[in-house]
Amino acid sequence: MTVALVNALARPLVESKTPDGIEPLWFETPEELLDLAPRAEIAWLDMCPPPLAAQAIARMDKLVWYNAMSSGVDWLPLDLFRERGVTLTNGAGIHAQSVAEFALLGMLGMAKNWREVVRAQDRHEWLAEPPGKLELLDAEVLIIGAGEIGQRIRQMLLAMGSRVTMARRNPGVGELGGEEWRSALGRFNWVILIVPSTPETRGLFGADELAAMKPDAVLMNFARGTVVDQDALLAAIDSHHLGGAFLDVTDPEPLPRDHPLWARDNVHISMHLSGRAQDALFPRGAARYLENLQRFQRGEPLLHRVDLARGY
């Protein structure tokens, strides 16, 4: 029997469907998790605080496969996994619909200045003119990061009539490569970041990139806060070069209550909620885990396996 250590929150979704040959161990408390960790050959610890998960993983000398529901895995001990030969699978694509809806929500909200409409309602004031009149029709949009989330955002924006360009490490036809997108930044009304969090993408978007953006353009970050130079972003906002920013992620998180970004009226902060704003998150994660359990039992390659050298 292969021992799988799983958060008890997933028990109603996976217990009856766990294949023969897998012995599930359910944990509800930190004490149970740490006590059971040395027995784990498979682990799914989502919904645990990262520091607690790190403590448990350090005790898992028998671990062969770690299942994560998150797309980003920068919070996990990738070096330890490499050293121990652990296979890591992630939740790439599970969050795609929810994040894409947040991206569209942010773009429409900023284009129509919906924040002012809500404030007017709070004041019981009938506006005579719409506070925002931009359209997404024919808007030039650059999406940096062409994974499942980026592609879902692209589909939605094409339906809105936007002109969408994708950028990725290895570009296909009509896409931009690593340095090409930098030289093209001045074309775009909207720039959306959805790259994986790796040492290579840390500080990817700094003062030079912000200065190269089209005046009044909007930067949207759904990657990690560390991908953007936050001080340079604030300077670009305060100089009125940038039209605004939509930040689902910040550095650090939570953003300190006294950070000046909170007070900028053209900065929208969605508090890293985009990927979790869905009722289907845990069921989707459970379905993927169960599919990979079947593959594990059959000795087949697991889906959504992370390249531990690249970090995604």
Residue 142 tokens read as 């650059």
3-class state of residue 64 by DSSP: coil
**Stretch (H or E) spanning 75:** none
**Stretch (H or E) spanning 143:** strand 140-144
3-class state of residue 11 by DSSP: helix
Q: How big is the chain by its Cα radius of gyration, in Å?
A: 22
**DSSP code string of 227-278:** GB-HHHHHHHHHTT-S-EEEES--SSSSPPTT-GGGG-TTEEE-TT-GGG--
Residue 2's pLDDT is 98
Preceding amide of 49 cis, omega within 30: no
Write down the pTM of the prediction: 0.93
Residue 178's pLDDT is 83
- pLDDT of 103-121, one tens digit each? 999 999 999 999 999 999 9
State phi, psi for 151 to the nearest 5 degrees.
-70, -35
Q: Which residues of the chain have pLDDT under 50?
A: none
Residue 179's pLDDT is 85
- pLDDT of 233-278, one tens digit each? 999 999 999 999 999 999 999 999 999 999 999 999 999 999 999 9
Residue 78 tokens read as 């990738």
* Complete domains list, the chain, with CATH: 2-93+278-298 (3.40.50.720), 96-276 (3.40.50.720)
For 109, half-sphere exposure in the C-beta direction (CA atoms, 13 angstrom radius) is: 20
CA–CA dist 79, 87 (Å, integer): 12
Alpha helices in 64-191 (DSSP H): 78-84, 96-111, 114-122, 148-159, 180-183
Is residue 185 within 8 Å of 142, Cβ to Cβ?
yes
**DSSP-assigned beta bridge partners for residue 44:** 6, 67
pLDDT mean across residues, the chain: 97
